[in-house]
């Protein structure tokens, strides 16, 4: 079908264009008909232009205008006219003008819409995902997808200017466990054999270092076959990066410069030149998590000494059993009263992480303690108030647990909830580094040590001679980048020594044979002069989500899966033909 192609976009025309004859192509966003006088808001990616069809225009034009429905795709030929001053629409970039139509061409029709484009109350998520192509027409999605583009472009510009090469790595690889479950792709040519989709290009980027490409990056798609939970997607995008001949601080500085550049470019936002560095242990002790939200204060404080002196046996026993008691002071405000019911909610938040209860007591304006567990602190009020630097009107919250991590995370959950409910979270971007992570964590279920990050991360030098004697104490050359309470990147300096790599595999319960079977290609490469190297991988979906003030990564991905890992639009995953199964040598087991 022939049609008149646009000469301008719907976001382009200004007062200076008055008098021009133009052609616009776009969608009918809104259409008002005042007895033959039509006002059509025509929309495309660039904006909205008001088109006018005069009541006395020719009958063909009138007839076409009256057939228009929402989201019809049309072409309009017309003359740009400046609007009278009182008719200027300040909300529209094109609000100074309108286009008086001389011809309207209907390019395609649109059936009744499942939801209105750009309506105040968005449709249910599954409806949005089923008709994602319509959802993508909405202003918010258009803006976020554009932001994503500019983000990635700024990253590419920055890294290219620093001598990085963008190199693609395969998406059909050998299954190499990296922490999560692999997606497998059956081989048609080799019956019984499988490719895996990469959980990340981790080993490939390390091999690129062995290959001499000392500054690599890639906007990489990663696949993890995890249970549908929270805001996870089966596939996500990361900026994968690796460098040779570097130490930890080189990577941290590069990232600080990169985010400074990108935030300035795309948001005109000035970040600090350096991001705070917090040791994992300090982050847990002060914020109760390893991805602290620094946009509000409410620090957690050690309360062991005071708890031991109190007459509260639950606290005293915990301290006597080498456990932990931690405190936090907060003050109610007009957004959030600390009612009994609310304190119960805080207690529930703490219990999710293992706390048995949440102690509390009020600080009065006279400098005494009242309510809750205050009676156990009789005679030591001043000491408690001074040591916590509490003020009249504050409430002190207390959590006790024998296990340090559980104690921290329980009171950390209370801190997070208070931050949200008191609405004391500042509007800013607060980056920080978490460093000095443990290299290993103990898998209680399987009864062995495993890597906290992945098995290719370097232990800190002082632990290398005695790794095996107490894996739980080993700190790694690992780092996470945190933004506003989300982990947005993690990385490490890598092992480049075959023997050390084998020791790590053994600690993580891989026999030498198994390690050779799974990772032989890496160990082989390390026999041929591997350079010292390290890297990092910021998650692009999550960063764009935070920057665009969304709470789900689905809002920044063009075609995401829903929370049940399904795609309501194309109904993936789907069954396949018997012929396809036969070719892949697959038999589907019947469900019992
Ligand atoms: N491959 C790691 C990940 O995806 C990141 C890294 O260590 O560079 O988490």
Angstrom distance (rounded) from CA 61 to CA 68? 11
Ligand 1, atom 7, lies closest to the CA of 491
Task: Mention every residue, 6+ apart, whose C-beta is less than 8 A from residue 394.
Answer: 329, 330, 331, 362, 363
At the fourth CATH level, the homologous superfamily of domain 296-425 is: GAD-like domain (3.30.1360.30)
Per-residue pLDDT at 371 exceeds 90: yes
* Interval 332-348: pLDDT, tens: 999 999 999 999 999 99
pLDDT greater than 80 at residue 177: no
**Alpha-carbon gap, residue 578 to 339, rounded angstroms:** 62
pLDDT over 90 at 176, yes or no: no
Query: Closest ligand 1 atom, CA of 202?
Result: 1
Task: Report pTM.
Answer: 0.94
CATH code for the structural domain at 142-278+432-556:
3.30.930.10
Beta carbon of 491 within 6 Å of any ligand 1 atom: yes
> Which residues have a Cβ under 8 Å from the Cβ of 341 and sit 6 or more positions away?
none
Q: How many angstroms does the Cα of residue 240 sit away from the middle of ligand 1?
A: 7
pLDDT value of position 479: 98
Pocket test for ligand 1, best of 199, 236, 479, 537 (most atoms within 8 A of CB): 537
Pick the CATH number of 15-108 from 1.10.260.40, 2.40.50.140, 3.40.605.10, 2.30.40.10: 2.40.50.140
Instruction: Taking the CA atoms of 354, 357, 363 and 369 in sequence, report the sign of the dihedral they define.
Output: negative
User: What tens digit of pLDDT does each residue of 315-325 get?
Assistant: 999 999 999 99
CA pair distance 138, 148, nearest whole angstrom: 16
Q: Is the CB of 201 under 6 A from ligand 1?
A: no
pLDDT, tens digit (0-9, with 9 covering 90-100), for 462-498: 999 999 999 999 999 999 999 999 999 999 999 999 9
Region of 19 (left: φ > 0; alpha: ψ -120 to 50; beta: rest) is left
The percentage of residues in the chain with a pLDDT greater than 90, rounded to a whole number, is: 95
Q: Which two tokens stand for residue 470?
A: 């107490």
Structure confidence by residue, pLDDT tens digits, 515-555: 999 999 999 999 999 999 999 999 999 999 999 999 999 99
Predicted confidence (pLDDT) at residue 1 exceeds the cutoff of 90: no
Distance 227 CA to ligand 1 centre (A): 20
In this predicted structure, what is the pLDDT of residue 137?
Answer: 96
For the stretch 219-274, pLDDT in tens is 999 999 988 777 889 999 999 999 999 999 999 999 999 999 999 999 999 999 99
- Adjacent-strand bridge partners of 82: 97
Residue nearest atom 8 in ligand 1 by C-alpha distance: 536
Give tens-digit pLDDT for 396-436: 999 999 999 999 999 999 999 999 999 999 999 999 999 99
Task: Quote the ligand 1 centre to 152 CA distance (angstroms).
Answer: 18
Q: Domain ranges in the chain?
A: 15-108, 142-278+432-556, 296-425
Mean pLDDT of 19-46: 96
Per-residue pLDDT at 171 exceeds 90: yes
Q: Round to whole Å and give the CA distance between 431 and 63.
A: 58
Question: Is the beta carbon of 495 within 6 A of some atom in ligand 1?
Answer: no
């Amino acid at each position: 079908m022939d049609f008149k192609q646009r000469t301008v976009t719907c976001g382009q025309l200004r007062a200076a264009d008055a008098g021009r004859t133009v052609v616009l192509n776009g969608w009918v966003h809104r259409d008002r008909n005042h007895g033959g006088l039509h006002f059509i808001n025509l929309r495309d990616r660039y904006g909205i232009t008001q088109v006018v069809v005069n009541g006395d225009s020719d009958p063909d034009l009138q007839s076409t205008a009256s057939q228009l429905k929402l989201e019809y795709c049309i072409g309009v030929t017309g003359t740009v006219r400046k609007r009278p001053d009182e008719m200027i629409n300040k909300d529209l970039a094109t609000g100074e003008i309108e286009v008086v139509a001389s011809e309207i061409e209907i390019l395609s029709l649109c059936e009744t819409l499942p939801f209105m484009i750009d309506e105040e109350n968005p449709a249910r998520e599954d409806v949005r995902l089923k008709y994602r192509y319509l959802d993508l027409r909405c202003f918010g999605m258009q803006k976020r997808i554009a932001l994503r583009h500019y983000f990635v472009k700024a990253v590419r510009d920055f890294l290219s200017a620093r001598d990085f090469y963008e190199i693609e790595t395969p998406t059909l690889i050998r299954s190499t466990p990296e922490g999560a479950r692999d997606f497998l792709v059956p081989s048609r040519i080799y019956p019984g054999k499988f490719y895996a989709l990469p959980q990340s290009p981790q080993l490939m980027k390390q091999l690129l270092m062995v290959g001499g490409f000392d500054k690599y990056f890639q906007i990489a798609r990663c696949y993890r076959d995890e249970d549908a939970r929270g805001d996870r997607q089966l596939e996500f995008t990361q900026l994968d990066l690796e460098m040779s001949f570097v130490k930890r601080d080189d990577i941290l500085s590069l990232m600080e410069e990169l985010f400074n550049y990108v935030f300035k470019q795309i948001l005109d936002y000035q970040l600090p030149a350096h991001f705070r560095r917090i040791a994992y242990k300090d982050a847990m002790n002060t914020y109760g998590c390893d991805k602290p939200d620094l946009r509000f204060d409410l620090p957690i404080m050690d309360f062991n000494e005071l708890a031991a002196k109190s007459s509260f046996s639950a606290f005293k026993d915990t301290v006597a059993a080498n456990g932990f008691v931690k405190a936090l002071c907060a003050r109610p405000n007009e957004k959030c009263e600390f009612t009994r019911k609310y304190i119960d909610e805080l207690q529930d938040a703490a219990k999710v992480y293992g706390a048995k209860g949440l102690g509390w007591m009020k600080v009065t304006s006279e400098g005494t303690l009242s309510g809750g567990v205050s009676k156990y602190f009789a005679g030591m009020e001043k000491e408690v108030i001074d040591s916590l630097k509490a003020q009249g009107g504050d409430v002190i919250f207390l959590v006790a647990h024998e296990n340090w991590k559980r104690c921290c995370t329980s009171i950390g959950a209370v801190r997070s909830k208070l931050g949200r409910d008191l609405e004391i979270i500042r509007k800013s971007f607060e980056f920080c580094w978490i460093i000095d992570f443990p290299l290993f964590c103990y898998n209680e279920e399987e009864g062995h040590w495993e890597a906290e990050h992945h098995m290719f991360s370097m232990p800190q030098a002082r632990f290398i001679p005695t790794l095996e004697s107490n894996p739980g104490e080993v700190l790694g050359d690992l780092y996470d980048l945190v933004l506003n309470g989300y982990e947005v990147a993690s990385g490490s300096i890598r092992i480049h020594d075959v023997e050390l790599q084998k020791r790590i595999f053994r600690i993580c319960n891989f026999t030498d044979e198994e390690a050779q079977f799974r990772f032989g290609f890496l160990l082989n490469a390390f026999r041929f002069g591997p350079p010292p190297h390290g890297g990092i991988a910021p998650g692009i979906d999550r960063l764009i989500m935070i920057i665009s003030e969304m709470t789900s990564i689905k809002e920044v991905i063009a075609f995401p899966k829903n929370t049940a890992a399904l795609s309501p639009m194309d109904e993936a995953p789907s069954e396949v033909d018997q012929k396809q199964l036969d070719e892949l040598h697959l038999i589907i087991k019947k469900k019992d």
